[in-house]
Amino acid sequence: MEFVLLTTFPIPLRLLAGLGALIVGVLIAFWFFMAKNNPRSQKVDELPANNDARTLQDQYDRGEITEEDYHRRLSDLENDPHSH
């Protein structure tokens, strides 16, 4: 089947298709390894050290509270002397 498909196309078109596939493969490999070796892409969102702030972040990530509530509660936690 592949032989029939290859013989239907002239050689320059097959050469261009092969070069195109090779270039795409090299670009994908380059993108993958650059992303893998880039320290900024490996950095996970840093969780707050405070457990209350961490649970607040989790609630915000799950969509249980709005962004305004998150910022208001976070500032309340930072201003509360008993939370530390």
pLDDT, tens only, 39-76: 665 555 555 556 888 888 889 889 898 989 999 998 88
More confident of the two residues 47 and 31:
31
Nearest to 77 by CA among 44, 60, 63, 43: 60
- Total domains present in the chain: 2
Model pTM score: 0.37
In the structure, what pLDDT confidence band is assigned to residue 22 with cuts at 50, 70 and 90?
A: very high
Identify the burial level of 56 via C-beta atoms within 10 angstroms of its C-beta, where 0-12 means exposed, 13-18 middle and 19 or more buried. Answer: buried
Residues 16 and 36 in one domain: yes
Asked if 57 contacts 47 with a C-beta cutoff of 8 angstroms, the reply is yes
Place of tokens 């592949």: 2
Residues 31 and 63 in one domain: no
- Domain encompassing residue 76: 51-83
Asked if 79 contacts 53 with a C-beta cutoff of 8 angstroms, the reply is no
